[in-house]
Structure 1
Amino acid sequence: MHNIQRNLLGRADALLLLGLALFMAYLLSGEMYWHYLHPRFRPVTATAALAMAGLGLFALFRPPRPSGGRTLAFALMLGLSLASLPATDPFGSRGGGRGVAEAETAEEVPENETGYLRLNTGELYDLAENNELSKHPGPGFAVRGFVRRDPELDRQGLFGLYRVALYCCFADATAVGIVVRPPDGALPEDGTWVRTAGRLNPTPDGASWPDIQVPGIFYASTLPGYVFAADTVVAVAAPREPFMFEWRAAPPYAY
């Protein structure tokens, strides 16, 4: 009887390990991996999943010495992993619930944005900070992101436009954005995604902006001393992977 209980506990550990391996394989096979980690860590996750699957299979046929603490730890990890599905958007942005195909169609560059340099908010932030805006002649820049409203900005007819940079995982996510003046004075709804084209102009007094909070992250950085004078502001679906995973210093930029 003692041997039977020992084998059952050992095989429970094996099944839990296989469950964790299947969870990681599920993330790798779909489009949800970026909800958890930067895509560059896919090879690491794949290696870990294979190792865990191998250990699980070995333990299934050669049950280890039973340990209630180990079994509980494995069960807790698997339970938390499953509880995280489906991963939700922690940053308060809304993309209209469209599918990937619709989102890609919605993001096609319209004719009235022809000639604008497409880049992300982090890259535009760096161009301004490094005094390199003049190196890119043309009608201006095209960026996209989610809207953050603030009472102080509302009074000035402005809104914040942000993207979240993910370097490793949610723990180090930071929001980087600019302040936008819409061409018609109409302020988009908070949390919606928009694409805008226009010029980044210095403010007369080099003013900084209020500390705008983005749900789910510790720090948001808003480019000080500049306002993006928009020629167009168009509501769009959120991109399939809304984070900024790349941050390039030269064209082609990671729009």
Structure 2
Amino acid sequence: MTERPTLVCFHHAGGTASVFRTWKQEADFPVHAVQLPGRESRVGEPRHTSLPALVDSLLRELEDVLAGPHVLFGHSMGALVAHALTRRRLALGLREPLALLVAAYVAPHEEPVRLALERMTDLELATTLCDIDGLHPQFLERPEWLGPLLAVVKDDLRVCASHHHGPTAPLPVPVHAFGGTDDPLVAPAKLVSWEAHTTAEFGLTWVPGGHFMVTARGSTLREDVFALTRRFAGAPVG
């Protein structure tokens, strides 16, 4: 009997583990939604602003979860985190994931779209997020809410900015990338180039919609990720 894998999910910049609540409810295998410090149940903990430091903490926090068969999924910033964690674990001789599934983020050697955080006002940043469906427009009417909310977003974006976007050796792990057909942040060519980061199987799926395909109404992303998790675990897909 095939041991069920754990699907380990990493959220986007400014996000929380709760975006995967329905994933945990609907899956027929364990789903572990990673909650980064400084939000929801971990709101009192200091947030990370460095990708290497974040990966160091995840090595310890997820040691037991990743000891068994698992698939890693990351959306946007989460894709960068999942890839960096995979590289670090392989360098340490630790168990590799059955597959790395990434959504809405450029390949690690590509430069992403960057926001000039230090020159943007909170209102400008909030407006930008609203334009890509990353923030509900109601927040623009309540500027007093923006400070604490955007502080999380800014620190997460600093995590992304701390990554050196240079060449890296490909992983001996299957990689499957998901892209939004109307994503303004990730050019198709920069998503396709994830293929250079694996010596194993590479796959690519386009999902109708924009950047926030995890929470978009009618998105097929969850079902697609579930099907791939079952397949890479050697379980029946349908």
Answer yes or no: same fold by TM over 0.5.
no
More strand by share: 1
Larger Rg: 1
Shorter-chain TM-score category? under 0.3
